[in-house]
Structure 1
């Protein structure tokens, strides 16, 4: 799954010379939290609602609303934008986006083409939605969680058990267990309400079913 298929395409951008007040109004009107800053077609920075809050007068100020607006009109985006922008190419995968956002503690990233043009924005909300879609959470699947020892052939054997019971696997995820060396947690989702037969056959093969629940 690629960022290009999950991002907001053709995002709103501003130029370095744009007054901060204008950028603030734009973000409020479009209900967005960040704006890529573009100059001559290339990404040169990014401005967020936090950047604007940082330069805006305190709520305790004695300045009038007109004076505040006038002050923000004199400050340009170039003066407060982040210049060392972390971005992603439009060929990146959604996993890469999630890892970069996690490592850099960012809630959104500009996406650029091979020519350097801003073609999208990928946010944490997009990543969350992808997770929901990949796991089929909205479709009301039954979730079976197993604790397994890492060995060759586990996934094949589990798939065979479920197929023999007459069901399809909608999704399967494996994750290392930090507290148990050599153990994995496997989460399988199947389109079935009654999974007693499946879980019984899984346990007959020596696997430990630790949790069963229908989600969605």
Structure 2
């Protein structure tokens, strides 16, 4: 699975000299949390709602609303934006994008083709990818099987299941200590319960 499958391709950007008051209004109206800062077609920064809040006067300020707006209109987004932006490309694997976000503690990655920004992917998009991998939104029955972590065990499990004409729509493996593993499957078919009974009879532990 690749970034291009989950990224937003319609990216709203702002120029470096956009004031932060307008940037706040754009985020509010478009219901977004980040704005790439683009100058002459090139990415020069990324500003988040957190950056804008940090640059705003304290809520307990004695300034009037008019004075606050006047102050915010004089601050440019480039002054508060992150300049060293972590990016990815459309063909970056989704797990590599997740790792980049985790390692650099960022909530979004602009997606680049050369110097051109072609999309943006956020932690919510990564979560959507995970939900798709696990088949959470797909029909069928979810089961978890605890097995010995050894060569051929997935083949044994899936052979039993498919012999009943059951479609395995999603499969994931989580490795446990002591050479054990949990196999997460989503099954779609009329004979799922029969397959579960045979798995039990063959010594496989069905957790749920």
Specify the TM-score bucket, using the shorter chain as the normaliser: over 0.9
**Superposition deviation, residue 60 in structure 1:** 1.3
Q: 1:197 aligns with which of 187, 194, 197?
A: 194
Change (3 A) 1:193 1:63: farther
Aligned 8 A contact 2:135 2:169 in 1:
yes
Are 1:181 and 2:178 matched, yes or no? yes
Pairwise CA distance, 1:194: 6.3
Rounded to whole Å, the distance in 2 between the matches of 1:64 and 1:2 is 48
Task: Check if 1:76 corresponds to 2:76.
Answer: yes
TM-score by length of 2: 0.93
- Contact 2:165 2:191 survives alignment (8 Å): no
Say if 2:127 is the partner of 1:128.
Answer: yes
Deviation at 1:192?
4.2
1:137 alignment partner, SS class: coil
Q: How far apart are the structure 1 equivalents of 2:142 and 2:84? A: 42
Q: What is the CA distance between 1:2 and its match in structure 2?
A: 1.3
| 3-state SS of paired residue (2:73) | helix
Scaled by the length of structure 1, what TM-score is found?
0.90
Structure 2 Cα separation of the partners of residues 176 and 121 of structure 1: 32
Distance 1:8 1:139 in 2: 22
The answer on 1:210 being equivalent to 2:207 is yes
Alpha carbon RMSD of aligned pairs, Å? 1.6
Residue 47 of structure 2: SS of its match in structure 1? strand
Q: CA deviation at 1:132?
A: 2.2
Residue 49 and residue 193 in structure 1: after superposition, are their counterparts in 2 closer, same or farther (change >3 A)?
A: farther
Deviation string 1:53-89 (CA, Å, 9 cap, x unpaired) is: 1011111111111111110111111111111211111
1:86 aligns to what SS in structure 2? coil
C-alpha distance in structure 2 between counterparts of 1:193 and 1:128, whole Å: 30
Paired positions, count:
208
User: Which runs of 4 or more aligned residues in structure 1 lie more than 4 Å from their structure 2 counterparts after TM superposition?
Assistant: none
Structure 2 unaligned runs (5+)?
none
Cα offsets for 1:152-188 (capped at 9, x unmatched) = 11111111100112211111100112xx231111101
